[in-house]
Structure 1
Amino acid sequence: MTRRANKNDIKRIIELLHQVNMVHHVIRPDLFKPNTTKYDELELETLLNDDSKPIFVYDDGEVQGYAFCQITEVKDHKLLENVKTLYIDDICVDECARGKHIGKTLYEHVLNYARSTQCHHITLNVWEGNNPAISFYKNMGMQVQKTTMETIL
């Protein structure tokens, strides 16, 4: 079952955040520190109370995955059209629960939520080298919107 996360989910979400961080650390150890998370318990409690940053979890008796989302809006911009975006800040399925369509279920829940809140599109960032994630997003119908380039000095 997919639902909004609550305070009781924090410990499990932190465990999953560790998994995601290690995927990123392996791909880019020059940027990502090992054995840490992007949010701590207090930060997660704050996020859980922010309706512009909903967190959804897949729960089959234990949280097996999550999707951190952010709703943003561009209004009255000189260059850009007025547009409401749902940005997926982070999405994860427990490495022991992969292959059970949990990621697809989470993504479809986010997609339906974005539609229900009149978003124009869903966006996210994915690191080059995270091939399983790239394949998953393409299978969900996502397309490349823009590319970020770098020169390491």
Structure 2
Amino acid sequence: MKIELRKATDKDIPAIFGLIRELAIYEDGLDRVTNSEEQMQAEKDFYNCYLAEHDGKIIGMALYYFAYYTWVGKSLYLDDLFVKEEYRGKKIGSQLMQKMMDVAREEKCSRLRLQVLNWNSSAIEFYKKSGFMIDQEWYNCDYIDF
């Protein structure tokens, strides 16, 4: 299977948002998605995305942004790594992850960080095999009442 990885453009926002919705459904969180294609277009300077294509069809993505952490400095934060269900198990996620590692190196990042749900054992194993340390100490803390 020939997979092309490419940087997303503005015209890809509808497809990216579709993948975000698919991921939210997989994570049983669609009701918590408040983002929209319009918002993504307006906020496009705050994120980057690589897409995986097969025969011209977008089948996966790695959506990321750069962050600064006081202990380590510039970091790449991988917000979503997602491959459509029918294409999983074909090393597409591994290709996208390698691209993120390459981008982090090229951008002179000190760390590549991501989150994984504690029940997603296949993702946890994938991240461990990719060399990630899974932290059991820190909790996510969100304030959303603006």
TM-score normalised by L of structure 2:
0.82
Larger Rg: 1
Bigger mean CA offset, 118-127 vs 9-18 = 9-18
The C-alpha deviation readout for 1:82-101, integer Å capped at 9, x for no partner, is 51110111110011111111
**CA gap 1:20/1:147 in 2 versus in 1, 3 angstroms:** farther
Residue 14 (structure 1) aligns with: 17
Residue 143 (structure 2) aligns with: none
- 2:72 corresponds to 1:73: no
Spell out the pairing of 1:36-115 with structure 2 (5 A cutoff).
Answer: 37=33, 39-48=35-44, 50=45, 53-60=47-54, 61-74=56-69, 80-81=70-71, 83-115=73-105
The C-alpha deviation readout for 1:107-139, integer Å capped at 9, x for no partner, is 101110010000001001111101111111111
Unaligned segments of structure 1, at least 5 residues: 26-31, 75-79
The C-alpha deviation readout for 1:57-88, integer Å capped at 9, x for no partner, is 112211111111110124xxxxx445111011
**CA gap 1:17/1:81 in 2 versus in 1, 3 angstroms:** closer
Unaligned segments of structure 2, at least 5 residues: 141-146
Amino acid at match of 1:73: Y
CA RMSD of aligned residues (A): 2.1
Number of residues of Structure 1 aligned to a counterpart in Structure 2: 136
Classify the secondary structure of the residue corresponding to 2:60.
Answer: strand
